[in-house]
A and B are shown apart, each in its own frame.
Chain A
Amino acid sequence: MAGFLLGMERAATQSTPPGSTVASRAVLSVIVAVLSSLFLLFIVAPMVGVVSAGGAKGIIAVGTDAELRAALLLTAVTATIATLLGILGATPLAYLLARRAFPGRAIVAAVMDLPLVIPHPVAGIALLLVLGRGSPAGAALYAAGIRVAGSPVGIVCAMLFVSAPLYVSAARETFARVDKRYEAVARTLGDDAWRAFRRVTLPLSARGLTAAAVVMWARAVSEFGAIVILTYNPKVASVLSYERFTSYGLSEALPVAAVLVLFSLVPLVVLRGLLGGDAGRWWNGGTVER
């Protein structure tokens, strides 16, 4: 929208006589400011509303409500495991997508975006089909003593599925930002490809990758749709807030919801402050400077 308006502004500047340019710019600036403010309000108001209505109760509930504490702990642990697995599995893929031209690269990139566009309950059903006890993979895992559906493993799988694409996308952009010639120099200085990656590319990408991991973690924490299909119990915080809402109404759901908002926001804000620089830009823009 902002880009469209800026385009309009540019077009207006080019096509109008100099006398009216200043007035046109002023009008367009006001329109841009009003629309941006309304949009920002639309995003911020619900969160502020939840926190202000249920924040204090929620903080107290963390001390008194054992089920909430367990749900928060489970959420944090499973989101952390999902994020670590994502880093482990998706970092090489992100690097490949950023650096190597291979047949089908565009298809792989598109497939990685798929979990972002399908409804999350559908993602849960798909995971249940592939990893449920009725599937070959699920049966094999079950035989090995790993139950996916109805267990924390299922929560991790659901979180990984829906949030890893965010990490891949951000990590890919981060790697693409590191000029290949740093690696080329490292190679001529005696490093093999892995050593050059470890000594040069990884340190230069560290901030961006950390920011990507934080975003993935936050997304995992907030996941509901896929988890509720795959593992209703034990409950993560999002499922608990849903259950409290459907069983007891808004007043009981609010404290849990408020804690969950704070739970998701605090690490993002803290990490943004810690990282600054690249991560800040990445976080600010949502796109990456080249």
Chain B
Amino acid sequence: MISLDRVNARAGEFRLVDISFEVPDGGYGVVIGTAGAGKTTLLETIAGVIPVTSGRVSLGGRDCTSQPPEQRGLGIVYQHAYLFPHLSVRENIAYGAASEEDAREITERFGLGSLAERSVDALSGGERQLVAIARALARRPSVLLLDEPFSALDPRSRNSARRLLRAVYEERRFTALQVTHDFAEAGLLGDVAIVLDGGRVVQSGAPEIVFRQPASAYIADFLGAENVFAGVVSLAPSDAATGSWSVSDEYAQRALVFTTGELTFFAISDVAEGPAHAVIRAEEVSISVDDSRSSIAATASMSSVRNQFRGRILEIASTGALSHVTVEASGTPIVAAVTGVSVQELGLAVGKEVGVAFKATAVHLC
């Protein structure tokens, strides 16, 4: 377990302020934040490389606040590997290994056997990162800290390294905390997501919650939510007229309407009426066309989906198999993520009139 309780630390002019979060035993935490948010400082504070000025750092239930790094039973892997350049691959992996057998086993497992006697200067970026991960794992740490370990790798090496690390993690179930700026990676890996900004934790929780229900428009924007609207929340007409079952309970979910510019849509939330932001993930937005020749039926008007609008396609941006289609509805651009096949089958093109739809439950108000 990694537990931080109101931790304050200082690295030069930068400060971590009142950091509190917990990654359970055997859990995989991900730290997300922009450059300069304090992600690396946070890891180094947990590692004991940067001293804590106040608060408490506990690892595996043990208070480690004043322990030096070598007594914390953890490993750290930096973005730039920091392999010892005066040592060979084998010597790097064996540097702090729990045993020779552990070093040998992890070397073979990571496919580094043929590189063992090489100088680390002769390695590719992907190989260097694998050696750095292997070196940390050879020590059999109970906590592994990973500072964007895959960010400098090409997609193929990244997937391979991620897979190898994941396999060891599944087997050994150490507690991991990984810094990433890639939310897809965070969602893929993490049990707990910690969003850091300006040296403070601005949100933490299960990745899907952080992803779907960001605590602020800033987080939503940072996390890459394509549809973030500023507007005003008010009670849905039916609730306002009849007095809903939920109105008396200030924490209960209520049917609300959100108005942004000319566009008004339904949402279910417990937020108070007044100014707010609405976040809708592009994956939650569907597109339909009134075209009987289309192989996909245009059923939006007959569905339970509460929010349905007509609009024209402004832009289609293709990123591999996925396309982001921007539709202007009542003067507001709404982005939908659809497959390339759908784009073809629906005959989507810039300027074409289409229907866009998303459920009230897909709208996150913050």
Chain A residues with CB under 8 Å of chain B are: 179, 181-182, 184-193, 199-200, 203-204
- Residues of B contacting A182 with CB < 8 Å? 82, 84
> Is B86 a contact of A190 with CB atoms below 8 Å?
no
Cα-based distance from A193 to B82 in the complex (angstroms): 17
Q: State how many angstroms separate the Cβ of B2 from the closest Cβ of chain A.
A: 14
Could you say which residues of chain A place their CB within 8 Å of the CB of B70?
187-192
Stretch at the interface among B72-80, B107-115, B157-165: B72-80
Given A189-B95, A190-B139, A191-B70, A184-B75 contact (CB < 8 Å): no
* Contact B84–A190 (Cβ < 8 Å): no
Q: Cα distance A65–B85 when bound, in Å?
A: 49
- Majority secondary structure, B binding face: loop
Most buried by A among B68, B70, B74: B70
Per the CB 8 Å criterion, the residue count for chain B at the interface is 23
A200 (CB) vs chain B CBs: closest residue = B84
B48 nearest CB neighbor, chain A only: A187
Q: How far is the CB of B41 from chain A (nearest CB, A)?
A: 12
> Is there a chain A Cβ closer than 8 Å to B354's Cβ?
no
B238: shortest Cβ distance to chain A, in Å? 59
Contact of A184 among B47, B80, B85, B139 (CB under 8 A): B47
- B82, A179: Cβ atoms closer than 8 Å: yes
A-B contact pairs, 5 of them (CB 8 A): A181-B82, A182-B82, A189-B136, A189-B139, A192-B68
Contact A186 B95 (CB under 8 A): yes
> Are A185 and B86 within 8 A (Cβ)?
no
A188 touches B86 (CB 8 A): no
How far, in Å, is A185 (CB) from chain B's closest CB? Answer: 5
> For the complex, what is the distance from the CA of A187 to the CA of B96, rounded to whole Å?
9
CB-CB under 8 A from A193, the residues of chain B are: 68
Q: Is B22 an interface residue (CB 8 A)?
A: no
The reply on B44 being an interface residue by CB < 8 A is yes
Q: How far is the CB of A244 from chain B (nearest CB, A)?
A: 47
Taking CB atoms, residues of chain A closer than 8 Å to B80 are: 181
Q: Is the CB of A187 within 8 A of B68?
A: yes
**Given A181-B78, A192-B70: A187 touches B86 (CB 8 Å cut-off):** no
| A residues in contact with B135, CB < 8 Å | 185, 189
The contact of B76 among A179, A184, A191, A204, by CB within 8 Å, is A184
Residue numbers in A under 8 Å from B95 (CB-CB) = 186, 189, 199
Residue contact A187 to B49, C-beta cutoff 8 Å: yes
**What string of 1s and 0s marks CB contacts (under 8 Å) between B58-81 and chain A?**
000000000011101011101010
A184 and B84 in contact, given A189-B96, A189-B139 (Cβ under 8 angstroms): no
What's the nearest-Cβ distance from chain B to residue A192, in Å? 6
Q: Which residue of B lies closest to A189 (CB)?
A: B96
Q: Which residues of B contact A187 (CB under 8 A)?
A: 47-49, 68-70
Cβ of A199: which chain B residues have Cβ within 8 Å of it?
95
- Chain B residues lying within 8 Å of A191, measured Cβ to Cβ, are 70, 96
A199-B95, A204-B85 provided; 19 other pairs, C-beta below 8 A?
Answer: A181-B80, A181-B82, A182-B82, A184-B69, A184-B82, A185-B82, A185-B84, A186-B96, A187-B47, A187-B49, A187-B68, A188-B74, A188-B136, A189-B135, A189-B136, A189-B139, A190-B70, A190-B96, A204-B84
Assembly CA distance A140 to B325 (angstroms): 88
In the bound complex, CA of A184 to CA of B80 (Å)? 13
Distance between A182 CB and nearest chain B CB, rounded to angstroms: 5
Pairwise interchain contact B86-A204, C-beta atoms closer than 8 A = yes
Q: Closest CB of chain A to B225's CB: distance in Å?
A: 34
Instruction: Tell me the complex Cα distance, A193–B72, Å.
Output: 14
Are B49 and A184 in touch, CB under 8 angstroms? yes
Contacts of A185 in B (CB 8 A): 76, 78, 82, 84, 135
Q: How far is the CB of A3 from chain B (nearest CB, A)?
A: 28
Q: Is the CB of B82 within 8 A of A188?
A: no
- Near A by CB (< 8 A), chain B positions 111-144 give 135-136, 139, 141
CB distance from A151 to the nearest CB of B (A): 41
Instruction: Name the residue on B nearest A203 (C-beta).
Output: B86
CB distance from A204 to the nearest CB of B (A): 6
- Whether A188 and B72, one on each chain, are in contact in the complex, defined by CB atoms closer than 8 angstroms, is yes
**Quick one: closest B residue to A206, CB to CB?**
B86
List the A residue with the shortest CB-CB distance to B81: A185
C-alpha gap A35/B74 in the complex (Å)? 57
Residues of A within 8 A of B75 (CB): 188-189
B202, chain A: closest CB distance, angstroms: 26
